[in-house]
């Protein structure tokens, strides 16, 4: 059976170490099964970085943008899969979209404080996303 071409992709990406990637794969595929998302519509990318000391890991969720049911299924898997990966220890270094708040809820106050200091260095007049830290308001 030939796979149907999908015209859009949502990507969940994070940093980890290579030895943890099998567990993240299991975590994500379990969520996909629970949400009835077909495994042949999911891609996985793992790229070792910094001389193999860590890795960029990504899950690509393919769907058709002209199908409201496909869009919703992809949205649900993206959100639930991201939450499960975060709870399993995935490090989201560049969170974005509706999942951003969840990442910051799991981020230590020390890291948020450091991020604010860096933002103050590069944006001393607070003109870039005033009151926000990396595209979202953070209360910590």
Is residue 53 a part of any domain in this protein? Answer: yes
Pairwise CA distance, residues 119 & 127, whole Å: 11
Dig out the tokens for 82 from the structure.
């991201």
Pairwise CA distance, residues 38 & 129, whole Å: 38
The mean predicted confidence, pLDDT, of the chain is: 87
Task: Give pLDDT tens digits for 38-58.
Answer: 999 999 999 999 888 999 999
Is residue 70 a part of any domain in this protein? Answer: yes
**Residue 40: which domain range?**
8-92
For residues 20 and 53, state if they share a domain: yes
Task: Give pLDDT tens digits for 74-121.
Answer: 999 999 999 999 999 999 888 777 777 777 777 777 877 887 888 889
Greatest CA separation found in the chain? Answer: 58
The β-bridge partners of 130 are none
First to last CA, the chain: 51
DSSP class of residue 136 equals B
Pairwise CA distance, residues 17 & 98, whole Å: 25
Residue 61's CATH number: 3.30.70.380
Please, what is the angle between helix 21-34 and helix 68-87, to 10°? Answer: 140
- Number of domains forming the structure of the chain: 2
Pairwise CA distance, residues 27 & 16, whole Å: 14
């Amino acid at each position: 059976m030939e796979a149907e071409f999908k015209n859009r992709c949502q990507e969940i990406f994070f940093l980890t170490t290579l030895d943890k990637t099998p567990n993240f794969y299991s975590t994500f595929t379990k969520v996909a099964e629970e949400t009835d998302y077909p495994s042949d519509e999911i891609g996985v990318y793992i790229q070792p970085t910094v001389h193999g000391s860590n890795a960029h890991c990504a899950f690509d969720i393919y769907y058709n943008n002209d199908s409201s049911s496909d869009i919703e299924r992809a949205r649900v898997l993206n959100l639930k899969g991201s939450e499960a990966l975060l709870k399993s220890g995935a490090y989201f270094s560049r969170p974005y979209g509706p999942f951003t708040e969840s990442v910051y809820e799991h981020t230590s106050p020390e890291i948020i404080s450091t991020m604010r200091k860096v933002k103050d260095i590069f944006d001393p007049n607070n003109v870039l996303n005033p009151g926000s830290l990396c595209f979202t308001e953070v209360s910590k």
